[in-house]
Amino acid sequence: MLDAIKRLREKLSLGRGGNSGKPVVEAASIDEVVKMELREMRSALETSIEAKLLRLSVTYKPVKTYSIEDPWARVIILRHKDTGEYLYYVNEVELNRDEKIIYNRIMDILTWELRHPTEEELRRMPGVSLAEKEKEFLVRQIKRIVNIYRIKMASEIEGVSWGKILYYMIRNNVGYGDIDVLIKDEYLEDISCDGVGRPIYVWHQEYESIPTNIIFNDERELDHIILMLAHKSGKHISVAFPILDATLPEGHRVAATFRKEISTKGSTFTIRKFKNRPLSIVDLILGGTLTPQIAAYLWILAEYRMPGMIMGVTGSGKTTTLNAIATLLRPNIKIVTIEDTPELRIPHENWVQLVSRPSYSVTGESIGEITLYDLVRVSLRYRPDVIIVGEVRGEEAYVLFQALATGHGGLTTIHSETIEAMIKRLTSPPMNIPLGYIPLLKFALAVKRIRMPDPTSKSGYSIARRVTDVWEIAGEHDYIQVARWNPFTKEHEHRFENSVVLDEISQLTGFTREEVMDELERRATVLTWMAKTGIKEFRNVAPLIFKYYYDPSSVYNRAIRELKM
Ligand SMILES: Nc1ncnc2c1ncn2[C@@H]1O[C@H](COP(=O)(O)OP(=O)(O)OP(=O)(O)O)[C@@H](O)[C@H]1O
Ligand SMILES: [Mg+2]
């Protein structure tokens, strides 16, 4: 390797330094160099990507291409010409031989030079969370080291792209290495690896579950990724403790198994991606998940802290819907959320977020575990107006229902498909809720992933999320459907006139039933206005919902005015 470097140096001294022999870009920073380089390189990169595509085009047809980090990494969705199957193709630039040598050299230096930031340095880093600040510090360190090395090598070696080297340095040291593109791709909801020699599968928002061209053929490579995931989430995984259940710094949820201890095909992992921007209630309306009327109905129920449950299968959108509904709660109430991994993000100031903790079992004896059950119990001491449990599975459900019985508000989700299945689960072990407690829940809604005809999509359909049923629970065996998704007309239907919960609210407030319905319509108008005028970002929606609580007419009048324009 040293020889190669020497060769490079020699090449360099004959390099393009001009008459003076001085390197042209010595003074420039690595960022400037990359910028300059990009101008020249972009078309070369395009050509190499085109060439790759041409090779693939014998069997595949590209159906969608997008950049993840322009121009270094892009994704191409390919469709097999015969079978019609899709392939998620990660296309990254490749380091040439010289670049690989330099890359390895800089990696050596980095290992020596990398240090922890001081508190003062961290404070000065841009970014909101500690993880973001640490990341930024690392990126700067890498840039600095690459820059020093580049200048030491007199700045320019023909055919070497510092941009590419920097891309790989950051991808492998700050990012997620071979799966970095997948982590960054906003279209992906899930990433899963079932073992060595098998393609990683992703759940793509437009193409559902599809294989990728990323395969770990070597057990060590896969183990390395798993250890990295454990390390990044501040947890431990090993042959002795072969299960990982953790949260990555960006909020993604990761589960993994190590080697062949418990999974026959060796290490496995699955990552549920965390959306940077939580979907707001207006996003859900715009995506057709629910109508402004259903949202307005939920808003009124939220205002009066009516307990509710969201049901659906894995990945159907339970947590997302729960989060959007939680935003509709009154701004000044006290909320405690309880989760296994911190996924919920709500705008309320008086919010305590509790997260369970698995046991430490270093000596073989499990200690220190804090379960959802413990948290629900302790949450009652906080005197919350509303308790939100991310998902109920076990005995914590029982405590939650006790809390509902003593007048607390509550929202949660459950893994079930129908209301009957939901009640069966709730009343069976390990939850064991007495049937008599079930009507403490005022409403239950079902969310599903469904196929919708889509002429713009190659497959003729696309996947959409729909609130398929909104039930009110009037008695132990008495459920009233107030809204549903009609699979034939592909539209939501409302039956709010059947609502007993709105009757209850009318009794509670002294507003007539008609007045309550008028209020529902007014809120639906406000939500329609937000959807039509593009006020959908979580951070913009929340303040307007809050404002409506203390000054409804100004928000409503603005909505009417702007809807007329
Ligand atoms: N209504 C929606 N519209 C668009 N995307 C959605 C919607 N609901 C959820 N998603 C996306 O689907 C993925 C899974 O959503 P979510 O985590 O809410 O599901 P879940 O049912 O809680 O899953 P799990 O069973 O794993 O807890 C996320 O990437 C989320 O952004
Ligand atoms: Mg969830």
> What one-character DSSP code corresponds to residue 344?
-
Question: Omega into 71 within 30° of 0, i.e. cis?
Answer: yes
Residue 316 CA to ligand 1 center (angstroms) comes to 5
**Which residues lie at CB < 5 A from ion ligand 2?**
318-319
Q: What integer pLDDT is reported at residue 25 of this predicted model?
A: 43
Name the closest-CA residue to atom 14, ligand 1: 315
The residue type found at 138 is: L
**Edge-first strand listing for the sheet containing 268-272:** 60-69, 73-80, 86-92, 208-215, 199-204, 188-193, 268-272, 253-257, 243-247
Name the closest-CA residue to atom 10, ligand 1: 317
Per-residue pLDDT of the chain (565 residues; tens, 9 = 90+): 444 444 444 443 333 333 344 444 455 788 887 887 777 777 777 777 777 777 877 889 999 999 999 889 999 999 998 988 999 999 999 998 889 998 999 999 888 888 888 888 888 888 878 888 888 998 999 999 888 888 777 655 666 788 899 999 999 999 999 999 999 999 999 999 999 999 999 999 888 899 999 999 999 999 999 999 999 998 889 888 899 988 898 889 999 999 888 888 889 999 999 887 889 999 999 999 999 999 999 999 999 999 999 999 998 999 999 999 999 999 999 999 999 888 899 999 999 999 988 766 555 566 778 888 889 888 988 899 999 999 999 999 999 999 999 999 999 999 999 999 999 999 999 999 999 999 999 999 999 999 888 887 767 788 899 999 999 999 999 999 999 999 999 999 999 999 999 999 999 999 999 999 999 999 999 999 999 999 999 999 999 999 999 999 999 999 999 998 7
Enumerate residues 6+ apart whose C-beta is below 8 A from 388.
Answer: 322, 326, 335, 336, 337, 338, 344, 410, 411, 412
- Domain(s) of CATH 3.30.450.380: residues in the chain: 180-272
Q: What integer pLDDT is reported at residue 318 of this predicted model?
A: 97
Ligand with an atom nearest the CA of residue 272: 1
Residue 275 CA to ligand 2 center (angstroms) comes to 12
Spatial separation of the C-alpha atoms in residues 469 and 447, rounded to whole Å: 8
Residue 291 CA to ligand 2 center (angstroms) comes to 22
User: Dihedral sign, CA of 93, 94, 99, 102?
Assistant: positive
- Domain(s) of CATH 3.40.50.300: residues in the chain: 281-564
- Pull the structure tokens for residue 333: 């109430």
Closest ligand 1 atom, CA of 275?
Answer: 31
Beta strands at 268-272 and 409-415: parallel, antiparallel or unpaired: unpaired
Residue 89 CA to ligand 1 center (angstroms) comes to 24
Fold of 180-272: Beta-Lactamase (3.30.450)
Closest ligand 1 atom, CA of 415?
Answer: 25
Beta strands at 386-389 and 409-415: parallel, antiparallel or unpaired: parallel
Residue 319 CA to ligand 2 center (angstroms) comes to 4
Q: Under a CB-based contact definition with an 8 Å cutoff, are residues 384 and 359 in contact?
A: no
- Pull the structure tokens for residue 485: 């998704």
Closest ligand 1 atom, CA of 253?
Answer: 26
Which string of b and e fits 378-400 if b means at least 16 CB within 10 Å?
ebbeeebbbbbbbbbeebbbbbb
Name the closest-CA residue to atom 11, ligand 1: 317
Ligand 1 and 312: CB distance under 6 A: yes
Ligand 1 and 189: CB distance under 6 A: yes
Ligand 1 and 425: CB distance under 6 A: no
The residue type found at 81 is: K
Ligand 1 and 284: CB distance under 6 A: yes
Q: How many CB atoms lie within 10 A of CB 503?
A: 14
> What one-character DSSP code corresponds to residue 373?
H
Residue 97 CA to ligand 1 center (angstroms) comes to 43
Ligand 1 and 316: CB distance under 6 A: yes
Q: Hey, is 470 helix, strand or coil?
A: strand
Ligand 1 and 315: CB distance under 6 A: yes
Q: Under a CB-based contact definition with an 8 Å cutoff, are residues 103 and 160 in contact?
A: no
Q: What integer pLDDT is reported at residue 431 of this predicted model?
A: 95
Ligand 1 and 268: CB distance under 6 A: no
Residue 89 CA to ligand 2 center (angstroms) comes to 28
Name the closest-CA residue to atom 8, ligand 1: 317
What's the CATH number of domain 281-564, 3.40.50.300, 3.30.70.3270, 3.40.462.10, 3.40.605.10? 3.40.50.300
Q: What integer pLDDT is reported at residue 456 of this predicted model?
A: 74
**Which of 188, 165, 147 is closest to 72 using CA atoms?**
165
Residue 239 burial by CB count (10 A; 0-12/13-18/19+): exposed, middle or buried? exposed
Ligand 1 and 442: CB distance under 6 A: no
